[in-house]
Amino acid sequence: MLGLSQVGVTVAAFFAQILLARTLPQSDFGTFSAALAVTALAAPLVVFGVSELWLQRFGLEGHAARRWIRPSLRLVAGICVGVLAAALGWSLAGSAGPGVTSVRALLISVIVAQVGLTLVASAQQLRGDYRGLSVLQVAPHVGRVLVVLASWAIGLSAVAVAAGYAVVALLTVVACIVVLRPFVAGTVPLEGHRGTAPAATSDVPVSRVVTAATPFVLGNVFYLMGIYLGTIVAAEVLGPEAAALLAVPMAVITAAYLVPRVVYQQYFLAKLHRWAHGDRDAVLLAYRFGTSGMFALGIVAAGLVALGGQLLPVLLGPGYGETAAVLAVLALAVPFRFGGAAVAALLTSGGLLRRKVVHQGAGALVLLAALAVATPMWGVRGTAFATVVAEAALCVLFWVTVRRRVVRGAALPSWHDLRRRLTRESPSAS
């Protein structure tokens, strides 16, 4: 179900990008893409790592971890107000024209929708409701496609498209509230945990939530910097037209990155947290076959991405001839992202979260340095190359740390061990 939903998300996001690029003037499309990139970077600041914190605490504490839910929601609500105010100030600041200001202001609503979806994703994982999670992931993208189709059919402006995205965001927030209510109330069962919530648990202080969630939020910010910072830098250094040339290739790469995100963030991470505290064999299996399997899958995905990218100039039309070359460069980052996701999940669940965040910070610094050098020298292709360099450096850092701190010279399992694990009839197998 998660895989099918991500196929739907990928197709819908790519279709929306293609139609927007063909419908809007190139400068308007660049402005729209850059504004969406800013909202994507702001959303993890609002969530503040709470979604990952929930997975970690429930893996450790079971139903008793419900004491973290309400304080963390209060924290998210407070941060949301501050970030929305800052984003509104950013949209109104500077000498941008009224159209640019309106687009930026309207797309602020996407931040709230993304926050809701992120929290719901963790709640649905803990419940084991992957069908509901799949539907919620696809629905907003379908709404965006309908908005873009209207723009293509009747010639809506960039401001009108942003207003449509805002309406979709509002509906998404309402749906997320409906889904979250029973989880917050403690009236739903959790996957891998027997019974229901304990009769009474005292909420933890909000300050404790801040301390526990800070590594997660830093990790999320660094992760999204790798995806969106290039577009923002291209818009500021090279202009909105350059951002438009990078936006669609990055949308394709982001779609490819959804594969490891589904496998680990949306399916395996809650299980890895449980395995890390009592099932070392499962952790070794995840390292042995997850890392090699994801890297091999990344090589296949990179080839498909680079090959399919040759169609971009045809789909996008005049003015986008360089997108195929840009995507071919970006495709080199795909195997590193796939393999890096596999080992990073073991750091997250293995008590090495802070070290993982330090590595992500180092990767962000590599990206910033590479962008500062490559973007002015080689333009959009240089921006793409900087992304590849940063992904490779981060993957190596993750892998070395897992080898030293998680595996620690243990005998790695064989294919026979994997088959025995998968066919074993035991509740602990999940």
For residues 155 and 376, what is the distance between their CA atoms, to the nearest angstrom?
35
pLDDT tens for 69-94 read 999 999 999 999 998 888 888 777 76
Task: Note whether 196 and 189 are within 8 A (CB).
Answer: yes
Question: Domain spans of the chain?
Answer: 2-423
For residue 199, what are its two tokens? 């009769």
Neighbouring C-beta atoms of residue 201, cutoff 10 Å: 16
| The pair of three-digit structure tokens given for residue 62, joined into one six-digit string | 């079971």
pLDDT digits (tens, 9 = 90+) for 36-72: 877 877 887 888 888 888 888 887 777 788 889 999 9
Question: Could you give the CA distance from residue 345 to residue 64 in angstroms, rounded to a whole number?
Answer: 24
Give the predicted TM-score (pTM) of the model: 0.67
pLDDT confidence bin for 429, thresholds 50/70/90 = very low
Beta strands in 314-412 (DSSP E): none
Q: What pLDDT score does 196 carry?
A: 52
Cα–Cα distance measured from residue 54 to residue 80, given in angstroms and rounded to the nearest whole number:
18
Contacts of 35 by beta carbon, 8 Å cutoff, 6+ apart: 91, 103, 104, 107, 162
Q: What is the mean pLDDT of residues 160-182?
A: 91
* Residue 176 contacts residue 116 (beta carbons within 8 Å): yes
What b/e sequence results for 84-104 when a residue is b if at least 16 CB atoms lie within 10 Å of its CB, and e otherwise?
A: beebeebbeeeeeeeebbbbb
Looking at per-residue confidence, does 272 or 424 come out higher? 272
Q: What percent of the chain has pLDDT over 70?
A: 92
| Residues in contact with 397: Cβ distance below 8 Å, sequence separation at least 6, in sequence order | 359, 362, 363
* Residue 412 CB neighbours (<10 A): 12
124-133, 223-232, 266-275, 386-395: lowest mean pLDDT where?
266-275
* Mean pLDDT of the 283-293 span: 84
316-368 confidence digits (pLDDT tens): 777 788 889 999 999 999 999 999 988 888 887 666 878 888 999 899 899 99
The least confident of 133-137, 309-313, 404-408, 413-417 is 413-417
**CA–CA separation, 168 and 16 (whole Å):** 14
